[in-house]
Copies of this chain bind each other. A is one copy, B any other.
Amino acid sequence: MKPLNIGLIGYGFMGRAHSNAYRKVNNFFDLEYQPVLKAICARNAENAAAFAKKWGYESVETDWRKLIARDDIDAIDICTPNNSHAEIAIAAAKAGKIILCEKPLSMNGPEGLKMVQAVEKAKVPNIVWYNYRRVPAVTMAKKLIEEGRLGKIFHYRAKFLQDWTISPDLPQGGAALWRLDVKAAGSGVTGDLLAHCIDTALWLNGSMDSVSAMTETFIKERKHTLTGKKQKVGIDDACAFLARFKNGSLATFESTRYARGHKALYTFEINGEHASIAWDLHDLHRLQYFDHKDEGKLRAWRSIHVTDHGGDHPYMDKWWVPGLQIGYEHSFIHQVADFLAGLAKGKPVGPTFRDALETQYVCDAVLKSARTKKWEKVKQ
């Protein structure tokens, strides 16, 4: 097996999810490449060292530029807040590194475009961690659509509901809460959560034409962790938008962190001429499917327990036995497996930076529409 030396930047929630994926992938998938946890990079040397010990990273860096400069690093994995993705990725591309970048790709479309140009010029393999594409139920949804089972699509609807920022006492900013700080995050739920919904939607349903959006910031001021002062909240706490896809279908999207009872309820539903599909992240191992071609009296929503084997249910032959579910973390393992397989074949594996740029353009149009209160075209 060929080693693929990983240099990971950032050791937060995503740093753990990716490290776990690198460590496990070869136990379950037969691959030419094997990730090697070469270096972890973070500004806080002590924390980085602790993380390295816990996960088996061979070395620690505190300056990402040094990491990129190292010859023994093949791939840079960017797990930092959104506002540093572009600078790191462009430098890594120039250094000829393979890049795996956390989502969203960038703070906005124009910044994302520069990143795309950098990786395409450097011809380095690149991917963005829109991991939900590789939940087996979601991958199967893609296959069912590709097989033409749904026919013409009439409707797409997606939501991503959370409830963790309802308290006005929650501060913004800092290592733990940078997602509430518009300078670090670029936006609120739009870039954090709707970006996931949009990536899946573009993948499953093609390009979007135009949107009409509204956003709201329910808590107007929060103490900033770094300054200790109350500061205006710049992010969108909630965002909902209408959309028209190029295939003629109508869509609704919504995300919020103010929906009591929902921790990470990403849901989507697609209604086609012949069949419909629905999925939700709280029971991610199930796919709901309705097929009008079924015999009349037996027509119904099927709750498919996506754990079967024999090549039928995506990825599941690699895991346990039918009936035994896998979880959230496995979507990252699948992404690494597919990425490594693509590397071996010299083929790009999506979502590439270019794929992810399209999501940025939708986010830009959404945020613009929320300001202009008009329908906005999505840049192509």
Contacts and interface: CB of A to CB of B under 8 A. Distances in A.
B17 A27 contact: no
A230 B17 CA distance: 50
A15 to B, nearest CB: 12
Interface in A253-294: 254, 256, 258-265, 271-276, 281-286, 289-292
Interface in A69-98: none
A368 interface: no
Interface string A32-48: 00000000000000000
Interface string A303-328: 11101101011000001111111111
A240 to B, nearest CB: 5
A123 B321 CA distance: 35
Contact of A250 (B27, B216, B310, B322): B216
Contact of A322 (B263, B298, B305): B263
Interface in A211-247: 212-214, 216, 218, 238, 240-242, 244
A55 interface: yes
A374 interface: yes
Contacts of A290: 260-261
B304 A154 contact: no
A6 to B, nearest CB: 15
Given A26-B54, A296-B312, A322 B164 contact: yes
A308 B321 CA distance: 27
A163 B299 CA distance: 13
Contacts of A240: 242, 250, 252
Contacts of A273: 166, 260
A155 interface: yes
Nearest to A312: B297
A321 B164 CA distance: 11
A157 interface: yes
A349 interface: no
A373 interface: yes
A371 interface: no
Nearest to A263: B323
A19 interface: yes
Nearest to A30: B54
Contacts of A214: 212, 242, 244, 250
A282 B320 CA distance: 13
A207 interface: no
B261 A297 contact: no
A371 to B, nearest CB: 12
Which 5 A-B residue pairings sit nearest by Cβ, starting from the closest? A263-B323, A264-B323, A261-B290, A300-B302, A324-B328
22 contacts: A27-B55, A154-B166, A154-B259, A155-B238, A162-B323, A212-B373, A214-B250, A218-B248, A263-B324, A264-B321, A283-B283, A283-B325, A285-B327, A289-B300, A297-B304, A297-B308, A298-B302, A299-B304, A301-B302, A326-B327, A326-B329, A327-B330
Interface of A: 13, 16-17, 19-20, 23-24, 26-27, 54-55, 140, 154-155, 157, 161-164, 166, 212-214, 216, 218, 238, 240-242, 244, 248, 250, 252, 254, 256, 258-265, 271-276, 281-286, 289-292, 296-305, 307-308, 310, 312-313, 319-330, 373-375
